[in-house]
Amino acid sequence: MEKEPVVYLDGKYVEKSKAVVSVFDHGLLYGDGVFEGIREYAGSVFRLDEHIDRLYDSAKSLHLKIPLSKDQMTEVVLETLRRNHLRDAYIRLVVSRGVGDLGVDPQLCKDPTVFVIAEPMSSGLGPRDPKVVRAIVSSVRRDSVDATSHEIKSLNYLNSILAKIESNNAGVDEAILLDSRGFVSEASVTNVFVVKGGIVSTPSSAAGILRGITRGRIIKLCGDLNIEVRETDVTRFELVTADEVFLAGTKSEIRAVGMIDGGKIGSGGVGPITRRLYQEFAKLVVRPEEGLPVFQAKTLSAPAR
């Protein structure tokens, strides 16, 4: 029989079939918790430092105390990959409020639940063009920065899910959400970029976005390639009249948007700047300085819990 994958759960590495959490966990009962989606490329974890920092910032904003240090958490991610012999993987790191009673009060939950799942996933990046997707502008507004802001990478994804249901019902691939002011925010699980006259624009944090790690690397890449890039408010008009629109996130990497609300974007295919950034991003993700090698002698302390 094939060996089961293992999952890190509260200090132990357990078989996938035994990796279960309580029905009293507030992560399940209330979406009270935080997470990260991370990728390993060719034996190296892409920007793990940034993912760990973002996880701890998300937790801090919820007054959720993670019971591991950042170094310990880093080691748990690496060890989960080692134990599953994974060189190209998607990693899901979750910290929930933990077990409590049926009341919403987080103070009643003593110990946060921590788990790390790693599954094989190969990169879609390569010499060929990125996928082209069709999108709608959703009628669902992105939660504003003074509400359940998506600046927090929390377990509460109903805002994105409602938009995704709308795009499913419209028979397209993606939903782009406007913020409460009416400006473009982000897609359900990716950041949005528009290109007009050779200038790349992407919504700023005012639009209630998650500051994507992929987004950050693309902004940096634009700088390296001397492509002008702006973090600014983007209107729906600017979105639908753009020369190119693309989406960026850890899991889906970079996707071109060929159509929005039934109208073509540019030629309806992959534009030249999207293609260039996609090709350069493919090179970037395997640069040694962008990742943390997994299969190396341990340097960090073992996780304690």
- For residue 145, the minimal CB distance to ligand PXG (Å) is 13
- The correct pick among 80, 113, 154, 190 for binding ligand PXG (CB under 6 A) is 190
Instruction: Give me the least distance between CB of 297 and ligand PXG, in Å please.
Output: 29
Residue 37 as a binder of ligand PXG (CB under 6 A): the answer is: yes
Q: Is 249 near ligand PXG (CB under 6 A)?
A: yes
136 binds ligand PXG (CB under 6 A): no
Rounded-to-integer distance, Cα 30 and Cα 47, Å: 29
H-helix or E-strand spanning residue 28? helix 26-30
- Beta-carbon contacts of 301 under 8 Å, excluding residues fewer than 6 positions away, are 69, 71, 72, 75
Q: Does 31 bind ligand PXG (CB under 6 A)?
A: no
In this chain, which of 141, 150, 164, 255 binds ligand PXG, going by CB under 6 A?
150
φ and ψ at residue 260, rounded to 5 degrees: -130, 125
Site for ligand PXG in 213-242 (CB under 6 A): 213-215
Q: How far is CA 279 from CA 39, 87, 222, 253, 284, in A?
A: 18, 21, 12, 11, 9
Torsion over CA: 289, 192, 63, 305 (sign): negative
Spatial distance between the Cα atoms of 186 and 183, rounded to a whole number of angstroms: 10
Q: What is the CA radius of gyration of the chain?
A: 20
Q: Rule CB under 6 A: say whether 167 interacts with ligand PXG.
A: no
Nearest residue (CB) to ligand PXG, 99 versus 257:
257
> Are 245 and 194 in contact, with CB atoms under 8 Å apart?
yes
User: Catalytic pick from 153, 196, 264, 283?
Assistant: 153
Q: Assess 96 for contact with ligand PXG (CB under 6 A).
A: no
How many C-beta neighbours within 10 Å does residue 107 have? 9
Q: What is the chain's length?
A: 305
Q: Greatest CA span in the chain, whole angstroms? A: 57
Between 93 and 99, whose beta carbon lies closer to ligand PXG?
93
Contact window for ligand PXG (CB under 6 A) among 133-141, 187-195, 260-268, 285-293: 187-195
Interface residue with ligand PXG among 143, 186, 244, 253 (CB under 6 A) is 186
Phi-psi region of 148 (alpha: psi -120 to 50; beta: other; left: phi over 0): beta
Catalytic status, residue 196:
no
Which span (23-31, 114-122, 208-216, 261-269) binds ligand PXG, by CB under 6 A? 208-216
Binding flag, residue 252, ligand PXG (CB under 6 A)? yes
Cα–Cα distance between 191 and 234 in angstroms, integer?
12
Q: Considering only the stretches 132-140, 163-171, 211-219, 295-303, report the one whose residues sit in contact with ligand PXG under the rule CB under 6 A.
A: 211-219
Binding residues with ligand PXG: total (CB under 6 A): 16
Verify binding: residue 191, ligand PXG, rule CB under 6 A. Answer: yes
Among 83, 251, 275, 276, binds ligand PXG (CB under 6 A): 251
Task: Provide the β-strand partners of residue 244.
Answer: 195
Our finding on whether 134 is near ligand PXG (CB under 6 A) is no
Q: How far is the CB of 197 from ligand PXG (least distance, A)?
A: 25
Is 232:200 a contact under the CB 8 Å cutoff? no
In order of 7, 13, 129, 205, the CA distances from 78 in angstroms are 12, 12, 31, 30
Nearer to ligand PXG, 39 or 97 (CB): 39
Characterise 139 by phi-psi region: left (phi > 0), alpha (psi -120 to 50), beta (else): alpha
Binding site for ligand PXG (CB under 6 A): 37, 150, 160, 186, 189-191, 210, 212-215, 249-252
Supply the residues annotated as catalytic.
153
